[in-house]
Structure 1
Amino acid sequence: MRKASPSGAKTYKKRERSDDPWLSSVLALRLRQIERTYPSHEEFVKASRLSRSTLLLLRYGRGNPTLKTLSTLADAFGVPVWSLLGIREDRVRDDVESFGLPYDGIFELLNKEIGADAPIPQPSRKQETGNKRRS
């Protein structure tokens, strides 16, 4: 971001990494884990459904993704959104049910929030560990 210094010269303010560096770091680690399941970096980028620059920002912990971006990544890699954030499925299930909501109903609520064009995938019981190698 540009701003004028007291002398009138333009200076650049360093962009902050994100509001929550811990969350960005966890996402970066998960993306690197998922990337290792692909034969090449190019295939990983293509599978992500994001632009190369956006994906690299997230992969290096410098991005601040929206729920829609996380949903796109989760759908592209076949994992639940919360696994991208380092949260176990059983923890999510317990938390959702503690509010009196049916676990499967949370997907409907979240999909209404982000729009139907990028639905949050419901995890299968086997999905929590990550992605299968794609050919």
Structure 2
Amino acid sequence: MSILVPVLLTLLALSGSQGHTAALLQTSKLLKESIRLLSHLLRSEVSCDKMNVTNIFAGDKEDDNIEILCKASTVAWEGRSCHRPLEGLYLNLVEVVQRKSTVLQAPCPVAAANTTSLHDFLMNLDRVLQRLVKD
């Protein structure tokens, strides 16, 4: 009976850490799927690639990665009429933000001060996602 308590505590601790590992793996899968979608979007040529979207990458670089992804979800949602796969990207980004932050609710509001082309936005987002997958 005295061995039972440590064994149960060990099993409990292991089951809790597996949930965290599973969440990390799921987030990694979402990021990789988003990179795949971005790759597809960047290869396709459509006339609206030059359409202006909010440049969430301009200005001060104080935003953390999750806040950038939250803002990116907003831009992806707004640009979905141009590229249908942006809706999938939007859903992936919202899911990552919900998993990583209890404070942010995607899509996040973005200031419409600076703009960039949709193509440039997608390239910048791809760089951010690549960096997050490596980390």
Q: TM-score, normalised by structure 2?
A: 0.30
Highest RCO, 1 vs 2 (Cα 8 Å, sep ≥ 6) = 2
Greater helix percent: which structure?
2
